[in-house]
């Protein structure tokens, strides 16, 4: 399980351990956000005998010992962030997203086991149709980050075709919930609301996303390991909302009027996203269960305890 100390990864580790699975978590603790916060993500697993943690850079480490005897590889490790992927920092995205994935695929190909890896709705860019199906003719990412995630999907297809590696890609749509990364909108909004601080919104706030609660994303991820090899699945929460709508919901939940300042739209931000999840529902028996208001309330409770 790579990216074990991250937002989705830590929740996935907890779910697998709760199901009685032995998990080796791998993380390199990059400095995109604080190590302290990532270690806090693993707090609940600290005394769990079925969980072990290895600190390793997937682009340089000896992967053999990490993968030896494993039945499934969940590859969630990546350098995240649309806005930070421009300019000189792009080399980090190549290192952590493309090179790391290629090395893992090469190792897994020697003794094929299911390889489930995290892609992103960012591969679609400004999709021509909403909700968007997986077989869109030409994904057109609008950020360097999206380009690297599309590249990892391409690598997965190549290894599936030429090496027989059972690869499955999951296109996550804006996952939120407790422990969400500090740079993501809901964490910023809710933290500011709890502390009565100003909230910065990029653009006019009418951009919309298909928001997915983390427990639903984890459920889809676990189910996908038994799915048909070579498939790509959208993982979306099924409830599209604009940023302005989300801010209004937070005001209702907190009983506070938010102090919002609007600044220029950031390069690489898609205008709208929406997932057609028919394939995941049909082939994996999965469906999202958490309404946006319920998920927001859960993340607000976490924000009050962790960010207040």
For 183-198, how does the pLDDT look when each residue is reduced to its tens digit (9 = 90+)? Answer: 999 999 999 999 999 9
DSSP H or E run through 185: helix 185-195
Residue 145 is among the residues annotated as catalytic for this protein: yes
The percent of residues above 70 in pLDDT, for the chain, comes to 99
The side-by-side arrangement of strands in the sheet containing 208-213 is: 175-176, 208-213, 239-242
Contacts of 117 (CB under 8 A, 6+ apart): 74, 75, 76, 101, 152, 156, 167, 168, 169, 170
Q: How confident is the model at residue 128 (pLDDT cuts 50, 70, 90)?
A: confident
Q: How confident is the model at residue 112 (pLDDT cuts 50, 70, 90)?
A: confident
Is pLDDT at 153 greater than 80 in this prediction?
A: yes
- pLDDT confidence of residue 205: 95
Q: How confident is the model at residue 129 (pLDDT cuts 50, 70, 90)?
A: confident
- pLDDT confidence of residue 21: 97
Is pLDDT at 137 greater than 80 in this prediction?
A: no
Return the number of other C-beta atoms located less than 10 Å from residue 300's C-beta. 21
Q: How confident is the model at residue 308 (pLDDT cuts 50, 70, 90)?
A: low
Is pLDDT at 295 greater than 70 in this prediction?
A: yes
- pLDDT confidence of residue 139: 84
Is pLDDT at 111 greater than 90 in this prediction?
A: no
Q: How far apart are CA 121 and CA 109, in angstroms?
A: 26
> If you average pLDDT over every residue of the chain, what do you get?
95
Name the pTM for this structure.
Answer: 0.96
Query: Which residue matches tokens 């604009």?
Result: 242
User: Pick the catalytic residue: 93, 145, 159, 233?
Assistant: 145
Fold type of domain 7-180+211-238+274-290: Rossmann fold (3.40.50)
Is pLDDT at 101 greater than 70 in this prediction?
A: yes
How does pLDDT run across 54-71, given as a tens digit for each residue? 999 999 999 999 999 999
Helix, strand, or coil (residue 102): helix
Q: Strands 198-202, 259-263: parallel, antiparallel or unpaired by DSSP?
A: parallel
| pLDDT average, residue stretch 76-102 | 95
Handedness of CA 204, 273, 270, 118 (dihedral sign): positive
Is pLDDT at 212 greater than 70 in this prediction?
A: yes
Contacts of 234 (CB under 8 A, 6+ apart): 121, 132, 133, 134, 171, 173, 275, 276, 277, 279, 280
Candidate from 38-42, 133-137, 155-159, 270-274 with smallest mean pLDDT: 133-137
């Amino acid at each position: 399980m790579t990216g074990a100390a991250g937002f989705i990864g830590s929740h996935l580790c907890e779910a697998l351990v709760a199901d009685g699975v032995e998990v080796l978590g791998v993380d390199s603790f990059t400095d995109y956000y604080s190590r302290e916060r990532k270690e806090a993500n693993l707090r609940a697993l600290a005394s769990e005998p079925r969980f072990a943690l290895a600190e390793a850079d997937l682009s340089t480490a000896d992967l053999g010992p990490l993968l030896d005897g494993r039945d499934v590889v969940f590859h969630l490790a990546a350098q995240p962030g649309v806005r930070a992927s421009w300019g000189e920092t792009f080399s980090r995205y190549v290192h952590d997203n493309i090179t790391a994935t290629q090395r893992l695929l090469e190792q897994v190909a020697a003794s094929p086991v299911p390889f489930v890896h995290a892609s992103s709705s960012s591969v679609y860019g400004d999709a021509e149709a909403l909700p968007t199906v997986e077989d869109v003719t030409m994904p057109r990412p609008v950020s360097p980050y999206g380009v690297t995630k599309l590249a990892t999907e391409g690598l997965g297809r190549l290894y599936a075709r030429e090496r027989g590696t059972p690869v499955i890609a999951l296109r996550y749509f804006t996952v939120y919930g407790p422990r969400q990364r500090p740079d993501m909108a809901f964490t910023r909004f809710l933290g500011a609301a709890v502390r009565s601080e100003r909230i910065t919104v990029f653009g006019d706030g009418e951009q919309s996303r298909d928001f997915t609660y983390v427990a639903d994303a984890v459920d889809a991820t676990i189910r996908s390991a038994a799915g048909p090899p070579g498939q790509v699945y959208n993982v979306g929460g099924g409830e599209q909302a604009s940023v302005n709508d989300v801010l209004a919901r937070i005001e209702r939940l907190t009983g506070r009027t938010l102090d919002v300042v609007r600044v220029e739209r950031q390069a690489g931000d898609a205008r709208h996203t929406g997932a057609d999840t028919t394939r995941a529902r049909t082939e994996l028996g999965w469906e999202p269960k958490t309404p946006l208001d319920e998920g927001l309330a859960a993340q607000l409770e976490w924000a009050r305890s962790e960010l207040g």
